[in-house]
């Protein structure tokens, strides 16, 4: 019998001692549970992704020193972990993304990642040299086939168009691997956990070997990792699943056919994304050294959902809400923001901006109240942004921005105004999904006042304003944006889907001319397959 544990940890990038303490504690628990092997995620020692920290020689040295200390401290159980290995051979890069198997201070086996992704948010070929071969290792009477994350993402039965010429899993199985282990740091996006289970099930069934998959959990900047580590029997049936969006230690007996622990997966996409946002907000705020946040509430659904996420992530006592009405703000929004803050139990204050807005208008004769245009609307947003940043400076609380993906895509936001802040919580959540998630938040009782969910969206920067004065209905806008941004369809292809050519052209134009805004926006939490940020690298100055 082989009993192994998946040590699903939430590392902090560069916190070598802290990450190793997590692994040491998990190894002790695994040993107490009768496990012979504990497995940790890809680059568990350094945290993933370390990015250009890998260019620092001291970073690499500290990573290797941490491995040596961990090998001394963990006894009585074998450990498989991810770390950065130096490459002593001539090559383009002097590092490997590697896995190390050790037991009682002795190195048993090393594996180097062969498939280095360079698409979307990944840029591993920038730092690492690919491994050259895949060899099983005999351990405890079982021939282990060890792979690292992307090495498993090339199965020809799952991917009709494959990115790589080699298949490390096939190589290992051809050489007699009896148990496949994949250590991973697989970033989350909506729907990916289900696809991942399909992929790993296919691998187990095709090669008739059990599979243990261990994933990182937690948020590191904009990237979120859902955990949900997995064990599959050799017929492709799910044997074990760790918790989603939290640290866990999953015990898996690959040769045992009886039922094992299968943690409940999120119930729907709204649940999945909400839990990802809560985890990502908590980790971004705390890993960056903050304890409290401040949010500007408007009475709209975006700031309401952001407030609900923040309260769940950090505790309502660590969230301050500021309502900054102008002469165009409806009384409904005053009532609704108060009700929201009361429902969530967070601190709430009102700071009217009319006097400050009037002072701006009086500063120069180029501003005009009678001809209230975009300039005057933006001044209001910038007054609010200035107040929020001042409160942040005074109290040490991080400002959370509240704009959604639909607005960010078409530039329906004010640079140095409502875009001010340290984290854009829902900037990768389309407006239609914002509504759906808000209804999910209210499934057991009203948290977000129903009137906030039902009201017509408005920036309230001029009389009787509605978002739809300038934008298509959000269900149409989001469909066009999904096709253009996430599916990378050409305008003609989107028109062929039945959308008005003039509307498509206008949306595409807005997306392209507002790249300069997005590149100055706060980091946003990635929850879709194509987010604005490091995974979508477009020039600002262009003609297309």
SS3 306: helix
Q: Judge contact between 225 and 186, C-beta under 8 A.
A: yes
Q: Which of 412, 400, 414, 227 is nearest to 314 (CA)?
A: 400
Backbone angles phi, psi at 179, to 5 degrees: -145, 125
Tokens encoding 109: 């086996």
Tokens encoding 205: 């069934």
Asked if residue 49 has a cis previous peptide bond (ω within 30° of 0), the answer is yes
d(CA 292, CA 307) in angstroms, rounded, equals 12
SS3 96: strand
d(CA 63, CA 16) in angstroms, rounded, equals 6
Radius of gyration of the chain (CA): 25
SS3 78: strand
C-alpha distances in Å from residue 504, one per residue of 112, 433, 490, 501, 528: 46, 21, 10, 5, 21
Tokens encoding 277: 């946002």
Write out the catalytic residue numbers.
42, 113, 149
Number of Cβ within 10 Å of residue 390's Cβ equals: 11
Q: Judge contact between 264 and 271, C-beta under 8 A.
A: no
d(CA 228, CA 262) in angstroms, rounded, equals 10
Strand partners, 347: 320
Strand partners, 181: 146, 212
Q: Are strands 230-232 and 211-215 parallel, antiparallel or unpaired?
A: antiparallel
Q: Judge contact between 369 and 346, C-beta under 8 A.
A: no
- Specify the residue for token string 């889907």: 497
221: which residues sit within 8 A by CB, 6+ positions away? 284, 523
């Amino acid at each position: 019998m082989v009993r192994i544990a998946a040590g699903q940890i939430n590392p902090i990038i560069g916190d070598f001692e802290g990450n190793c303490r997590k692994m040491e504690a998990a190894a002790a628990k695994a040993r107490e549970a009768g496990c012979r092997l504990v497995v940790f995620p890809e680059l568990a020692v350094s945290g993933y992704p370390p990015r250009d920290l890998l260019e620092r020689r001291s970073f690499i040295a500290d990573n290797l020193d941490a491995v040596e200390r961990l090998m001394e401290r963990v006894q009585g159980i074998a450990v498989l972990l991810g770390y950065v290995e130096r490459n002593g051979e001539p090559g383009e890069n002097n590092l490997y993304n590697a896995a190390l198997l050790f037991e009682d201070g002795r190195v048993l086996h090393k594996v180097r990642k062969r498939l280095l992704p360079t698409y979307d948010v990944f840029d591993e070929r920038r730092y690492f040299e690919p491994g050259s071969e895949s060899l099983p290792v005999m351990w405890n009477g079982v021939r282990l086939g060890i792979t690292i994350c992307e090495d498993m993402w090339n199965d020809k039965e799952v991917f009709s168009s494959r990115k790589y010429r080699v298949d490390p899993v096939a190589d290992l199985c051809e050489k007699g691997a009896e148990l496949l282990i994949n250590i991973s740091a697989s970033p989350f996006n909506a729907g990916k956990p289900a696809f991942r289970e399909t992929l790993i099930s296919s691998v187990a069934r095709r090669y008739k070997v059990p599979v243990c998959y261990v994933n990182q959990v937690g948020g590191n900047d904009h990237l979120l990792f859902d955990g949900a580590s997995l064990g599959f029997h050799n017929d492709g049936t799910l044997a074990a699943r760790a918790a989603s969006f939290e640290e866990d230690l999953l015990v898996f007996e690959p040769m045992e056919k009886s039922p094992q622990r299968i943690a409940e997966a999120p119930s729907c996409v709204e649940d999945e994304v909400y839990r990802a946002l809560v985890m990502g907000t908590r980790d971004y705020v705390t890993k960056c050294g903050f304890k409290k946040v401040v949010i500007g509430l408007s009475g709209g659904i975006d700031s309401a959902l952001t407030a609900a996420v923040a309260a769940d992530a950090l505790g309502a006592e660590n969230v301050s809400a500021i309502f900054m009405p102008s002469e165009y703000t409806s009384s409904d929004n005053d009532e609704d923001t108060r009700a929201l803050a009361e429902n969530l139990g967070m601190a709430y204050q009102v700071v009217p901006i009319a006097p400050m807005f009037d002072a701006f208008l009086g500063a120069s004769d180029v501003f005009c109240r009678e001809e209230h245009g975009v300039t005057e609307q933006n001044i209001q947003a910038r007054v609010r942004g200035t107040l929020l940043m001042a409160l942040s400076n005074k109290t040490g609380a991080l400002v959370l921005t509240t704009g959604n993906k639909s607005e960010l895509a078409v530039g329906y936001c004010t640079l140095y105004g409502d875009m001010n802040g340290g984290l854009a919580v829902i900037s990768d959540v389309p407006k239609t999904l914002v509504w759906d998630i808000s209804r999910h938040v209210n499934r057991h009782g009203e948290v977000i006042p129903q009137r906030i969910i039902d009201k017509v969206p408005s920036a309230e920067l001029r009389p009787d304003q509605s978002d739809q004065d300038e934008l298509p209905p959000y269900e149409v806008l989001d469909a066009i944006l999904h096709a253009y941004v996430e599916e990378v369809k050409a305008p003609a292809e989107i028109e062929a889907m039945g959308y008005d050519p003039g509307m498509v052209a206008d949306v595409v134009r807005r997306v392209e001319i507002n790249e300069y805004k997005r590149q100055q926006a706060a980091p946003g939490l990635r929850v879709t397959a194509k987010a604005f940020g490091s995974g979508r690298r477009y020039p600002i100055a262009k003609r297309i």
